[in-house]
């Protein structure tokens, strides 16, 4: 009967250690998650600043306004009277 008390005591001790380890892991996970999102946000800001400073040729071409083309039918053009 004495060994049952020892088994239950050791199991209670192991459960407490597992609980403490899981709490520590949860804190570390929360901290890593916060750092990840902060780094992702900072990367996006730096990427936008870099694009503003040195745009690629494709971005420069896209930034120029497109050439305006209009259709003028020949029938609307009149000959000048001479």
Q: How far apart are CA 24 and CA 16, in angstroms?
A: 12
Quote the percentage of the chain above a pLDDT of 90.
57
Within-domain flag for 62: no
pLDDT recorded at residue 68: 78
Segment 29-48 shows an average pLDDT of 96
Segment 51-79 shows an average pLDDT of 76
Within-domain flag for 68: no
Within-domain flag for 27: yes
Within-domain flag for 14: yes
Within-domain flag for 13: yes
Range of the domain at 40: 2-56
pLDDT recorded at residue 23: 98
Global pTM reads 0.55
> How many structural domains are present in the chain?
1
Q: How far apart are CA 41 and CA 45, in angstroms?
A: 6
Within-domain flag for 44: yes
């Amino acid at each position: 009967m004495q060994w049952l008390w020892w088994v239950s005591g050791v199991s209670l001790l192991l459960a407490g250690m597992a609980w403490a380890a899981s709490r520590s892991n949860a804190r570390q996970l929360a901290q890593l998650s916060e750092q990840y999102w902060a780094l992702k946000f900072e990367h996006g800001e730096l990427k936008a600043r870099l694009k503003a400073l040195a745009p690629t040729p494709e971005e420069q071409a896209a930034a120029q306004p497109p050439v305006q083309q209009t259709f003028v039918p020949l029938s609307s053009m009149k000959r000048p009277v001479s």
